[in-house]
Amino acid sequence: MKSDSVKKGVSTAPHRSLFNALGYTEEERRRPMIGIVCSYNEIVPGHMNLDKIAQAVKMGVAMAGGMPVMFPAIAVCDGIAMGHIGMKYSLVTRDLIADSTECMAKAHGFDGLVMIPNCDKNVPGLLMAAARVNVPTIFVSGGPMLAGRIDGRKRSLSSIFEAVGSVAAGTMTEEKLREYEEKVCPTCGSCSGMYTANSMNCLTEAIGMGLQGNGTIPAVYSARIRLAKHAGMKIMELVEKDIRPRDIMTKDAFMNALAMDMALGCSTNTMLHLPAIAHEAGVEINMEIANEVSDRTPNLCHLAPAGPTYMEDLNEAGGIYAVMNELDKKGLLNLDLMTCTGKTMRENIQGCVNLDPEVIRPIDNPYMPNGGIAVLKGNLAPDTGIVKRSAVLPEMMVHEGPARVFDCEEDAIKAITGGKINPGDVVVIRYEGPKGGPGMREMLNPTSAIAGMGLDSTVALITDGRFSGASRGASIGHVSPEAAVGGPIALVEEGDIISIDIPANKLEMKVSDEELAARKAKWQPREPRVTDGYLHRYASLVTSGNRGAVLELPR
């Protein structure tokens, strides 16, 4: 066992004395040592139940003959961090989580790991760590929140962000806003739509690193506790068989995840996280592959914010395995891949049928013939621009309008809520990329304000930052190269005509090459917004959004 390096032989007598100090018995030390990486805290609603999940996992590990040892991982609540400096610290925690977990796992000689994440950056951060450490590993999340209910309709966090815009527009009272405040987030769990957290937990199932139901069983269901116990038991089988993350997270597994991403209509943030996780696993994914996968993969689900259904509905309809069975009807997945069950994906999904054709559309009756995410290119985005097209209104799939240019999110919000944005405008928010932000903030506040003020059918938003999974509308993010490194988005001027053609995967500004070259010659880099601390170090190491914002040492 790997843990023998800290438990066996004369030379490890000092180590054993420290295990004695921890209260571990000799009988426990003879067992494989399993690290339980728990993201529990009291500030993230999706993590407040993870102490119970961890206890269930520990019981499962012990029942199956292992020695469970818990240690923590940090987590930021994106909703609470939204709209202020806190959002600069959201994406950057992905690497802190991966780095700290790698340190703990390698420093203590664990034989296997059970990862217990839930919200946005914890899932990809721990997947990155799993690929790096590469000891047998399984994931069990805390599960999604149940939807709230207002006026007989299901609602979620995105609803209240949009409600704020409605109050600013004078179409909703503050009293009604307070009702939303009380009701949209009724339970613990990751917010109830197909936002980033739930997207990544679902893709963890699809890639083979989580058991059935990991992405969809609601946080408050007792089935979630049973799932955690089974994950604890299953890790012992993975240790015995020496099935490791890189045996599971292969190129074909990432292609499956991309196809499921398109079918489910996941958050655009998956286009940051999947390349970063793949990079750690020694697999390279470029954004051109995403369009190829999207072109052949129909969109089968319209969960909030794209539609009126929620994670609890997807769970009742059969969950991720039912969606995979639909895609398999047209051979869109490679199912002969190893998974954390110790079986192939084909064996896993056998008999998992679609129980609700309105929540999971049959493969012959999709919402769209192509996938939920599109990668746009053009002279405004030579590398990439990412849009969740399944959440774009039909009338905004092709749009042309004058640029309204802002160099930070706060200035854009003032203009939107102040009534200074007109129908037809294209709001451009720049210097919010991985380096320029730094930290690539989510733009849920401006997209929600646009929707709440009734402008989502006429106004587009483009940024080198990113969007929450709760954003909807013609919201194009991850524009690369970003403004901070002199990308074309830095050269846009007020009133320039911006052309968006989502079906054709194009994002252009109607400015001549000669004029752009002249503007480029005059452009000067901005002074860094942050000059010390972790954000400064992050900005010096982070790469472009089209590469997953992975960190690299300067060359």
Q: Residue 302, Cβ neighbours under 10 Å: how many?
A: 22
Tell me which residue of 148, 118, 144, 133 sits closest to 41, measured CA to CA. Answer: 118
How far is the first Cα of the chain from the last one, in angstroms, to the nearest whole number?
A: 39
What is the DSSP code (8-state) at residue 309? B
- What is residue 229's three-state secondary structure? helix
- Strand 506-509 with 497-501, pairing: antiparallel
Q: Residue 38, Cβ neighbours under 10 Å: how many?
A: 23
The DSSP code sequence of 145-199 is PPPEEETTEEE-HHHHHHHHHHHHHTSS-HHHHHHHHHHS--SSSB-SSS-HHHH
Question: What gap in Å lies between CA 206 and CA 123, rounded to an integer?
Answer: 13
Question: What gap in Å lies between CA 187 and CA 406, rounded to an integer?
Answer: 37
What is the DSSP code (8-state) at residue 527? P
Which of 158, 468, 471, 475 is catalytic? The answer is: 468
- What is residue 498's three-state secondary structure? strand
Tell me which residue of 202, 224, 180 sits closest to 310, measured CA to CA. Answer: 202
Question: What gap in Å lies between CA 160 and CA 147, rounded to an integer?
Answer: 12
Query: What's phi and psi for 105, nearest 5 deg?
Result: -65, -40
CA–CA–CA angle 445, 401, 524 (5° rounding): 75
205 beta partners: none
Q: Is 390 a catalytic residue?
A: no
Question: What gap in Å lies between CA 299 and CA 266, rounded to an integer?
Answer: 10
> Amino acid identity of 13?
A
480 beta partners: 384
Helix (H) or strand (E) holding 380: none
Q: With 0-12 CB in 10 A as exposed, 13-18 as middle and 19+ as buried, what is 297?
A: buried
Query: What's phi and psi for 460, nearest 5 deg?
Result: -105, 160
Question: What gap in Å lies between CA 33 and CA 59, rounded to an integer?
Answer: 14
Query: What's phi and psi for 487, nearest 5 deg?
Result: -60, 160
Yes or no: say if 381 and 488 are a contact pair by the CB < 8 Å rule: yes
Q: Which residue has the tokens 């990544």?
A: 200
Helices (H), 403-532: 409-417, 444-452, 513-522
The first and second tokens of residue 422, run together, are 């007109």
**Active-site residue numbers?**
468
